[in-house]
Amino acid sequence: MVEEVLADTAATSSYSGSSAFSHDVIAAMKKVERHHFVPSELTAVAYHNRPLPIGYGQTISQPFIVALMTDLMRVKAGDRVLEIGTGSGYQAAILAEIAGSVYSIEIIEPLGKQAGERLKSLGYRNVQTRVGDGYYGWPEAAPFDAIIVTAAASHVPPPLLQQLKPGGRMVIPLGTQFMTQYLMLVEKQQDGSVTSRQILPVRFVPLTGGH
Amino acid sequence: MNRPPLIAIGLLAACVLAYEVLLTRLFSIVLWHHFAYMIISAAMLGYGASGTLLTLLKEKVAAHFGVVYVMAATALALLMPAAFLLAQQIPFNPLELLWDKTQLAKLLAVYLLMMLPFFCGGLGIGLVMSHFGKQASRIYACDIFGAGVGSLGVIGVLFFIQPPQALTALTALALLATAAAVAELKMRPKWLMELFIGLAVLAAVLLPGIRAHPSAYKDLSQAMNIAGARAVEERSSPLGQITVVENTRVPLRHAPGMSLNATSEPPPQLGVFVDGDGPSALTRFDGDLTQLAYLDQLTSALPYHLLERPHVLVLGAGAGSDVLQALYHGSVAVDAVELDHNIANLVSQRFSGYAGNLYALPNVRVYEAEARGFVNTSHERYDLVQVALLDSFGTASAGLYGLSENYLYTVEALQAYLNRLAPGGMLAVTRWLTLPPRDALKLFATAVTALERDGVVNPAARLVMIRGWKTVTLLVKNSDFDVREVASIKEFCRARSFDPAYFPGMRAEEANRYNILLQPYFFEGAVALLSPQRQGFIDQYKFYIEPATDDRPHFFRFFKWNSAAELFALREQGGMPLLDWSYPLLVATLVQAIAASILLILAPLALSRCRRTLPSAPVALYFLAIGLAFMFMEIAFIQKFVLFLAHPLYAVAVVLCAFLVFAAAGSWMAGRWQAENKVALAVIAMGALALLYLAILPSLFRALIHLPDAEKIIISVALIAPLAICMGVPFSTGLMRLAGASEEAVPWAWALNGFASVVGAVLATLLAIHLGFAAVILLAILIYGMACAALRGFA
């Protein structure tokens, strides 16, 4: 699976702004076993490069998108990361392999509890999970070096932007379950202002030829 | 057993047609589309397969006519809810269609399950027809009368009960139909009738527990999964099932695409879902406009920064967000148009206190009307016509509406909106942002065409488009934008980190500053669409962005075959979401319709003794042609009447009913009409009528669209009646001609006609999307012409 994802990176590099996924991301993708995070009946397809249902109308993202999002966050060792939308816990586990600490909030109670237990049983001591409303972030642990918002939201909650460190990065996938249309990367400048970048995960140029 | 069970046949036919219409509602609730084409195709498959079975087992069945009939009717009663319940157990998920090959098998299973009740219904009616052959005309009359009442009656019923309850009612009705048959056929034992009446009562009392389970991926399902969510109101009508969700633990905060610079957040809101899609927000309002500052942080707020105290028309007012936005910005008066009485009523009655009596404010007027109808008949002039963003981001971005007709965003619609503007007025349309740009550029192209059709020499001077990170707003002015306005647009965008995509005089370096794309796609696209190379750009663009028109109102169709292969190859690199699933689904349905009808209608005949009585090529061609052409006409008119009748369900019910009843009348008249060339005459009359309708329907719809629903239904039926009468002539005439020449080929005629109907229902939808309704109707005329030629070869 990781090899497939890596092979796909080159094709996307010009769009994601990086020539290849960082070594940390690749190492994390190799280390975290995806079959722990999918329902038992889907174990056989756990390493397919596709999104899979995890119940409650939620999905575990396509590994390629997980790698791309993690890479865009530019997480470093020791970083403090916030995730809104724990889901299966797979993204949190990948982040935990790289970052110092990961704080993850899930809005769907049973899913959040399962993911918390799963991460604990897999030995991720640097991940803290919570079930609740992600709108106000995790103020006790703020500020964060990076934030990822995988839960659908009509807008970016202002409190989350406030909890992002100057120089920090926020990644938001947009679309619906099974269908990540594009990624938004929000960068907070040192002066507190923000810019956003919309990234199409796929190398697909809509404008063909000159006009 | 000398009298046919006429009452039972009428009731049975009513059940079957009501079920067909009801399924379109149920599919809208459970999935994301009404799937009318698939349901009509499944119905035709059921009828066709039952005809084949009757042909093969004629003698065996004849000996036990009464028992088989009662069994078929009972099976219909049981299968109507059972097939739907079982179909819900199949984990068919259109969103996974392109990821998971097993989804195709699941789709086929749903299709075949849907076919079963129609198979039983067709078997019952066919049995009676063949058993009481000499009284066929009376039976046919009852059958068609029942079908007409059923298809229209279910609409009336849906005003009072919810679709799942209507399903129960139909089960009870089918059991009553069985009881009626027992009585009419004087079957024994006598308690059998009481038994079926008892079962009908039991079904009516016990079965209301049946529920439609929306897909777990629909917006409402997702909202209800959140801790603290509870449905505080549910309402249902033929227009949709409305659910109001309150969540005090994790409140809804709906501010689509709010600026990243915004610091305010929305006040508490209730989520309003229609058929599980949404939400649109019903915002708590206590009269304090300062609480609504977030509404100034949306791209849709732009026109309010260009207009002073405007008189606003909101089309698709829903639960009132756009009305609040207008009031926040000091609008002097707001006219809010909402189609669904139930939604308007939520704000004006049920939650009026919560909504601050919004719809009763002195400067707000609410009209329960269809947007196009209102705009066509209103005499008011507005400074701003705001087309609200009511569909949800997820469904729009995933291509879930690809097959849906939408008459809000066509060239003709935009012309009608512009026509309502006061001097210096503006039309504002906000859409979700999709990448690569799809909706936005299609809308822009549609606006350019609308302006050109209105005789505007330089559309470039009247268009503005801005984009945030999630929404795009298009402004179309009925005069040129001036320098002061352009300055206001720039300032509006700068303050909120929105990007201008186009304004008159815009330079390339002004694009793509805040929400940075790899290339300034929106600006480049807008400039190309305003240039003489527009058509070349549209043709080359990898998504279908040709302007939508009333003839091809599939605004959300972006699928192009050329790009599909490329995107599919890129599926593991994030390409899959750019492929609209609805279009491959339609193609898959067509393939399975062909396979299933060959397998269930034609193959059994070909393998039986009937293989010795194969019809001649002209006969085969004739019955294929008239089956196909009939479906083309029916489907094209259903989709065309969606505009006039304002909702797909009304269109399906009314057009189906009218075609059925009047084609039957045409059939009956053909039997009494002695003319030698009656098919040719009927086809000529039908062709002339169809051409006339193509010419006059747009203006006729414009003139009459404001009328009440009941009157519009009567007008629709009156329009279709002469056409359907003509279309009823070829089948019965061909059948009589064939019966005279080689009676043993008659089962083949039924089977081939059935096959063509199954395929035609889906094929017509596919062709309408590609070529437009006019082309499908012209094609139908052409195929009828071919049938006339084939008829000459019958001898």
Cα angle B255, B259, B260 (rounded to 5 degrees) comes to 115
**Across the interface, do B260 and A161 touch by the CB < 8 Å criterion?**
yes
B contacts of A155 (beta carbons < 8 Å):
253, 255-258, 262, 470
Q: Is A208 within the bounds of a domain?
A: no
CB atoms within 10 A of CB B708: 7
When divided into structural domains, chain A yields a total of 1
- When pLDDT is averaged across residues B521-547 and rounded to a whole number, the result is 95
pLDDT at B706: 86
Structure tokens at B738: 């064939």
The pLDDT tens digits of the residues spanning A4-50 come to: 666 555 555 444 455 578 999 999 999 999 999 999 999 999 998 88
Could you tell me which chain B residue has the CA closest to the CA of A65? B574
Of A135, A174, A204, the CB nearest to B575: A204
Task: Write down the pLDDT at residue B567.
Answer: 81
Distances (CA, A) of B395 to A151, B128, B137, B271, B276: 15, 46, 48, 16, 11
CB atoms B257 and A202 under 8 Å: no
Q: What percent of chain B has pLDDT over 90?
A: 62
Diameter of chain A by CA atoms?
Answer: 57
User: In this complex, do B95 and A177 lie within 8 Å of one another by their Cβ atoms?
Assistant: yes
pLDDT of residue B401: 65
Integer Cα distance of B451 and B530 in angstroms: 11
Report chain B residues whose CB lies below 8 A from the CB of A200: 435-436, 518, 574
Q: At what angle do helices B6-30 and B36-56 cross, to 10 degrees?
A: 140
For B260, the closest of A14, A56, A194 (CB atoms) is A194
Q: Do A56 and B257 touch (CB under 8 A)?
A: no
Which residue of chain B is at minimal alpha-carbon distance from A8? Answer: B573
What is the C-alpha end-to-end distance of chain B, expressed in Å? 38
Tokens (6 digits) for B787: 């049938």
Strand partners, B365: B335
Give the tens place of pLDDT for each residue, B191-237: 999 999 999 999 888 776 678 888 888 889 999 999 899 999 999 99
Which whole-number Å values give the CA distances from B230 to A107, B222, B272, in the listed order? 15, 12, 12
Query: In Å, how far is A172's CA from the nearest CA of chain B?
Result: 11
Stronger pLDDT, B144 or B573, i.e. the higher one: B144
Residues in contact with B82: Cβ distance below 8 Å, sequence separation at least 6, in sequence order? none
Which candidate from A62, A181, A211 shows the least CB-CB separation from B533? Answer: A211
Region B394-402: mean pLDDT is 60
> Does B316 score more than 60 pLDDT?
yes
Q: Which of A4, A152, A156 sits opposite B260 (nearest CB)?
A: A156
Residue-level pLDDT at B723: 96
**What is the average per-residue pLDDT within B41-52?**
91
Residue B392 scores a pLDDT above 70: no
Is A61 an active-site residue? Answer: yes
Q: Is A17 part of any domain?
A: yes
pLDDT in tens, B175-184: 999 999 999 9
**Predicted pLDDT at A117:** 97
What is the predicted ipTM?
A: 0.91
Give contacts of B263 with chain A, Cβ < 8 Å. Answer: 158
- Are B74 and B177 spatial neighbours (Cβ–Cβ below 8 Å)? no
pLDDT at B246: 96
Closest CA of chain B from A20, distance in Å? 14
Residues of chain A found within 8 Å of residue B216, distances taken between Cβ atoms = 56-57
Q: What is the 3-state secondary structure (H, E, C) of B241-276?
A: EEEEEEECCCCECCCCCCCCCCCCCCCCEEEEEECC
Taking only the tens place, the pLDDT of each residue in B697-747 is: 999 998 898 888 889 999 999 999 999 999 999 988 888 888 877 777 888
Task: Decide if A177 and B528 are in contact by the 8 Å CB cutoff.
Answer: no
- Per the domain annotation, does A195 fall within a domain? yes
The mean of the pLDDT values for chain B is: 91
Using a CB-CB distance cutoff of 8 angstroms, which residues of chain B are in contact with residue A211? 524, 528, 531, 533, 536-537, 540
The domain that holds A194 is classified in CATH as: 3.40.50.150
Nearest by Cα to B731 from B776, B687, B670:
B670
Q: What is the pLDDT of residue A15?
A: 45
Tell me how crowded residue B707 is: count the other CB atoms within 10 A of its CB.
15
CB pairs under 8 A between A and B: 185
Burial state string for B545-573 with b = 16 or more CB within 10 A and e = fewer than 16: bebbbbbbbbbbbbbbeebbebbeebbbb
The pLDDT value given to residue B609: 83
Query: With the CA atoms of B377, B379, B381 and B385 taken in that order, what torsion angle do they form, in degrees rounded to the nearest 10?
Result: -20
For testing the chain A interface, which of B496, B517, B545, B572 should be mutated: the one with the most A CBs within 10 Å? B572
Inter-chain contact B572–A64, Cβ cutoff 8 Å?
A: yes
Taking contacts as CB-CB distances below 8 angstroms, the residues of chain A near B217 are: 57, 176-178
Residue B310: closest CA among B218, B366, B370, B381:
B381
Of B255, B570, B577, the CB nearest to A179: B577
Comparing B515-529, B670-684, B735-749, which segment has the lowest mean pLDDT?
B735-749
Show the tokens assigned to B631. Answer: 């479906």
Residues B586/B554, Cβ–Cβ less than 8 Å:
no
**Of B101-110, B684-693, B748-757, where does the model show the most confidence?**
B684-693
Q: In this complex, which of B257, B260, B572 lies closest to A186 when CB atoms are compared? A: B260
* Residue of chain A nearest B222, judged by CA positions: A57
- CA pair distance A52, B793, nearest whole angstrom: 57
Is the pLDDT reported for residue B21 higher than 70? yes
Which residue from A133, A174, A180 is facing B470, i.e. has the nearest CB?
A: A174
The answer for residues whose C-beta is within 8 angstroms of residue B414's C-beta and 6 or more apart is B427, B446, B447, B450, B476
Residue B95 with chain A: CB contacts under 8 Å: 176-179
Which are the contacts of B612, defined by CB distance < 8 A and separation ≥ 6? Answer: none
| Residues B634 and B690 sit within 8 Å (Cβ to Cβ) | no
Check A132 against B227: CB less than 8 A apart. yes
Q: Which of A14, A108, A154 sits opposite B255 (nearest CB)?
A: A154
What percent of chain B is modeled with pLDDT above 70? 98
Give the distance, in angstroms, between the CA of residue A39 and the centroid of all CA atoms in the same chain: 20
Shortest Cα distance, chain B CAs vs residue A78, angstroms: 27
Query: Contact A203/B570 with Cβ under 8 angstroms?
Result: yes
With a cut of 50, say whether residue B241 has pLDDT above it. Answer: yes
In a domain, A207, yes or no: no
Say yes or no for a CB contact (<8 Å) between A196 and B260.
Answer: yes
A209–B540: do the CB atoms touch at under 8 Å?
A: yes
Neighbour count for residue B458 (Cβ, 10 Å): 12
Which of the 8 DSSP states describes residue B221? H
CB contact under 8 A, A179 and B576: yes
Residue A209 domain-assigned (yes or no): no
Minimum Cα–Cα distance from B499: chain A residue: A196
Where residue B648 falls among pLDDT bands split at 50, 70, 90?
A: confident
Question: Which residues in chain B have their CB less than 8 angstroms from residue A131's CB?
Answer: 227
Cβ A207–B525 below 8 Å, yes or no? yes
- What is the CB neighbour count within 10 angstroms for residue B130? 16
In a domain, A52, yes or no: yes
> How far are the Cα atoms of A128, A150, B242, B409, B594 from residue B278, in angstroms, in the given order?
32, 19, 10, 19, 35
As a whole number of angstroms, the distance between CA B63 and CA B452 comes to 70
Rounded to the nearest angstrom, the minimum Cα separation between A156 and chain B is: 7
For residues B319-326, average pLDDT: 96
> Strand ranges (DSSP E) for A15-122?
52-55, 58-60, 80-84, 101-106
Name chain A contacts of B540, Cβ cutoff 8 Å. Answer: 207-209, 211
Q: How far apart are CA B402 and CA B400, in angstroms?
A: 6
- Tell me what pLDDT residue A13 has: 46
Structural domain includes residue A210: no
Residue with tokens 């698939």: B38
The Cα B472–Cα B319 span in angstroms is: 21
Residue B603 pLDDT = 92
Angle at B343 between CA B340 and CA B346, to 5 degrees: 150
Return the pLDDT at B58. 81
Task: Mark the ranges of chain A whose per-residue pLDDT is less than 50.
Answer: 13-16, 209-211
Nearest CA in chain A to B99: A50
Are the beta carbons of A157 and B265 separated by less than 8 Å? yes
Say whether B577 and A196 touch across the interface (CB within 8 A).
no
Please report residues of B whose CB lies closer than 8 A to that of A157: 253, 265
Average pLDDT over residues B611-627: 90
Question: Closest Cα to residue B82, out of B202, B170, B189, B181?
Answer: B170
First-residue to last-residue Cα distance in chain A: 40
Point out the least confidently predicted range of B391-405, B529-543, B675-689.
Answer: B391-405
Closest by Cα among B711, B686, B639, B695 to B784 = B686
Q: Quick one: closest CA in B to A15, which residue?
A: B518
CA-based nearest residue to B237, from B317, B341, B318: B341
- Residue B570 to residue A154, Cβ atoms within 8 A: no
Beta carbons of B537 and A211 less than 8 Å apart: yes
B394–A176 C-beta distance less than 8 A = yes
As a whole number of angstroms, the distance between CA B510 and CA B499 comes to: 8
SS3 state at A103: strand
pLDDT of residue A7: 59
Going by C-alpha positions, the residue among B495, B273, B311 that lies closest to residue B392 is: B273
Closest CB from B257, B260, B577 relative to A181: B577
* Residue A20 covered by a domain: yes
The range of the structural domain enclosing residue A67 comes to: 2-202
Of A14, A18, A61, A196, which is the active-site residue? A61
DSSP string, B531-584: STTHHHHHHHSSS--PPP-SSS--TT----HHHHHHHHHTGGGTTGGGS-SHHH
On chain A, the residues whose CB falls within 8 A of the CB of B255 are 154-155
What pLDDT does A210 receive?
39
